[in-house]
Amino acid sequence: MHEKLDDLANQFSQIAHHYDDKHDDEEKPVYNACASLVIDHTGPDPDDVVLDLGTGTGLVALALAEDANYVVGRDISDGMIEQARSKADDSGIENVEFGSGEFRDLQYDGDVDIVVSNFALHHLPDKEKREAIEVIAGLGPRRFVLGDTMFFGSSDPEESLFGHEVNVETVGMLVNALTDAGFVVTAVERVHEQVGVLVAEQSNEGPVHSPQEDQ
């Protein structure tokens, strides 16, 4: 892990014990709505293996474990991983695995049917986002569900929803990156003018969604 990610991992480890309650009154409903849409759109089958990247305290991973065969959570923060494992133990959920890994170094080489990520990809700059999406595509999942910060309107809003440093892209840029990696974007959900959910399917056919619609 390079120095910037190492610093980020340490920051999240320091707040891991209260991360689930840390968002302020304006952010929390948006964050929860985004996570709910990611869970709904993932829709795993009983024999599916789901990979949750940037799993944090396991909010999405643990919710998906009820319907999936197995869920693998990866995060750069040891503190967040410890919280996720503790929540799984407390809930008696056994078909989950949490461990260290990042978008371009997953530290997982098993089968993957669906990849999900909620509020994590934004920590990477544009070039590294594209590299991460290519790594995900290389796993061969039939579906990738991404919930994150993304601009539906102006790429330079007067007021940013989230105070911490994020690298927000337009919806069009993310759709283009997914399309270039071989995905077809099948759904775009706007949660907030700066937050959305993208659903992408693996296909050999051309894209069915026009990025210009969201710029």
Give the range among 62-66, 146-150, 200-204 with minimum mean pLDDT.
Answer: 200-204
7 pLDDT exceeds 70? no
* pLDDT mean over 91-97: 97
Backbone angles phi, psi at 105, to 5 degrees: -145, 80
Q: Which of 6-10, 17-21, 48-52 has the highest mean pLDDT?
A: 48-52
100-145 tens-digit pLDDT = 999 989 999 999 999 999 999 988 888 999 999 999 999 999 999 9
**What architecture is the 3-214 domain classified under in CATH?**
3-Layer(aba) Sandwich (3.40)
CB neighbours of residue 167 within 10 Å:
13
Q: Going by DSSP bridges, is the β-strand pair 70-75/96-100 parallel, antiparallel, or unpaired? A: parallel
The pLDDT assigned to 201 comes to 97
58-29-152 Cα angle (round to 5) = 100
Q: Where are the domains of the chain?
A: 3-214
Full-model pTM: 0.83
SS3 content of the chain, % helix, strand, coil (to 5): 40, 25, 35
- Token digits for 34? 């985004």
CA distance 182 to 189: 20
CA distance 154 to 134: 27
